[in-house]
Amino acid sequence: MKDETDDSPEAWIGRSRQRLDVVTPRLIEQFRATLAETLAPADVPLGLFWALGPEALPPADLGRDGHPHLGLILPRLPLPRRMWAGGEVEFPGALRIGDAVRRDSRVEAITFKTGSTGPLGFVSVRHDYLVDGQLQVTERQDLVYREDPVPGARQPVAPAAADLGPPLAGLTLFPDPVLLFRYSAITFNGHRIHYDRSYATEVEGYDDLVVHGPMQATLMLNVAAMAMGRCPQRFSYRGVSPLTCGKKIRVEAHEGADGGLSLRVSHDGGAVTMIGTAHL
């Protein structure tokens, strides 16, 4: 049995939590309204599972960034900033309206690396979404922890989007503060980089409010479904550079390897911010 009083990063591997939620008509309506005209046809919009079972803690248990204090839900690492780095989702089943969903979450791995911006900590969390004991969605979610930015330091240059020709499916979107607020609300995401511009720019060093990683992944997942005519069986995604609001973006699906799709989010005519793949 694990010692729950041990707060070292390694001791968190294998720790688990459960959350319960319901796929309600109201949640579906709000999700559709938030991401209008970007969703593939489906009774339950693809990506809605990211709005199920969010952690709900009182203000006293929140850190400076608006997320739960490190050490409560996620391990306490010696790095203050955290973001989604990427992940992989598989769909052995499908959620339906009215489903009572149990989300089982556990820490799978913790690793440390050194990148161009300094030391990085990666935490991989497995989320299983079950209905009546049957697995419907399983996701590995990779989170990255990093140091605060050094004032005046140059930011890494994001890769430019290559010309891949006409996409199999795609959409154009202009993320603005209202969209970010509504997505934060529907997912109960308190991270201040998505709604507090002074915090995002002055503390965490971004040039504007940051578009959510799961929102970008949701857009890619739906574009993949548009190209395939159905939900993919396996979908992976990885953040390449921060996406901030106020700039038009393109979300595209192109032919990929092994009969799958290559996916990307990019500034219209500019840098790539997230890439992914999808397979039936």
pLDDT one-digit tens code per residue, 134-154? 999 999 999 888 887 766 555
pLDDT at 45 over 90: yes
pLDDT tier at 98, thresholds 50, 70, 90: very high
CA nearest neighbour of 123 among 174, 86, 95: 86
Within the chain, residue ranges assigned H as helices are 25-34, 177-187, 197-198, 213-228
pLDDT at 74 over 80: no
**180-190 per-position pLDDT tens digit:** 999 999 999 98
CA nearest neighbour of 51 among 21, 25, 78: 21
Confirm whether pTM is higher than 0.75.
Answer: yes
pLDDT of residue 259: 84
pLDDT at 266 over 70: yes
d(CA 131, CA 22): 10
pLDDT of residue 3: 53
**220-251 per-position pLDDT tens digit:** 999 999 999 999 999 999 999 899 998 899 99
pLDDT at 1 over 50: no
Percent share of the chain, pLDDT over 90 = 59
User: Average of pLDDT values for 47-53?
Assistant: 97
Contact 248, 173 (CB under 8 A): yes
Number of alpha carbons in the 13 Å side-chain half-sphere of residue 250 = 21
- Domains in the chain, start-ordered, CATH in brackets? 9-279 (3.10.129.10)
Give me the chain's average pLDDT, please: 88
